[in-house]
């Protein structure tokens, strides 16, 4: 199965930018759909963005126009570029991989904190 490791989180001021990375240790990475989810303290884990194995993307309404998901199959890595960050974007961000047979793997998360 895939092992997913997130990085790139940190503390940033409102209006700033961060780029999250998710590195996958799997020789089948190029066949996986990849996604990002986030969870604020005391809240449910919510969908943020998804990219298919073919490169098509979907975004939550709350981040559309500000966040961009991309993938580099040569590096087995998916990215989340986050611009114009708001305090409401604060939370733990989790990487998800989905196989064509619907198996799902999760990373351990990376913390993003946006100050006002």
Half-sphere exposure of 24 (CA within 13 A, CB side): 29
Residues contacting residue 75 through CB under 8 Å, at least 6 positions apart = 23
Predicted local distance difference test score (pLDDT) of residue 2: 77
Q: What is the pLDDT along the chain (116 residues), one digit of tens a residue?
A: 679 999 999 999 999 999 999 999 988 999 999 999 999 989 999 999 999 999 999 999 999 999 999 999 999 999 999 999 999 999 999 999 999 898 999 999 999 999 99
Predicted local distance difference test score (pLDDT) of residue 41: 86
Predicted local distance difference test score (pLDDT) of residue 84: 98
How far apart, in whole angstroms, are the C-alpha atoms of residue 78 and residue 88? 23
Predicted local distance difference test score (pLDDT) of residue 27: 86
Q: Decide: helix, strand or coil at residue 82.
A: strand
């Amino acid at each position: 199965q895939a092992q997913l490791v997130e990085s790139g989180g940190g503390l940033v001021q409102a209006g700033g930018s961060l780029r999250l990375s998710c590195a996958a240790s799997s020789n089948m990475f190029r066949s996986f759909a990849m996604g990002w989810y986030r969870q604020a303290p005391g809240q449910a884990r919510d969908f943020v963005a998804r990219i298919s194995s073919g490169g098509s993307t979907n975004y939550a309404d709350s981040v559309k126009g500000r966040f961009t998901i991309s993938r580099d199959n040569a590096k087995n890595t998916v990215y989340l570029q986050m611009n114009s960050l708001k305090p409401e974007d604060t939370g733990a961000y989790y990487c998800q991989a989905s196989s064509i047979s619907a198996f799902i793997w999760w990373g351990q998360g990376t913390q993003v904190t946006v100050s006002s």
